[in-house]
Amino acid sequence: MELPKFLLGDNTDFPDAVYIVHTEYPRFIIDLSTDEVEWLEDFSPEDERELSSEAESLIEAATSFYDREVDRYQE
């Protein structure tokens, strides 16, 4: 099965939270209500250095995906 790069998620146990799931490496979930990021990978120290420079652009891409999805629902 081919998954999209981003998935939009919610959970009735957390009614104020909206989640974006990044399905490609490095996988993560961001809670847009708190901007908290949960990484689903184990990183080596070398990976962490590379990730710090890449993380900002990945999170921006996730929020852009969310904005695009919301715009499409409102059309």
Q: What is the pLDDT of residues 21-39, one digit of tens each?
A: 999 989 999 999 999 999 9
Residue with tokens 């909206």: 18
Q: What is the pLDDT of residue 29?
A: 97
- The predicted model gives 50-65 an average pLDDT of 89
**Residues 6+ away with beta carbon under 8 Å from 60:** none
Confidence of residue 4 (pLDDT cuts 50, 70, 90): very high
45: pLDDT strictly greater than 90: no
d(CA 67, CA 10): 15
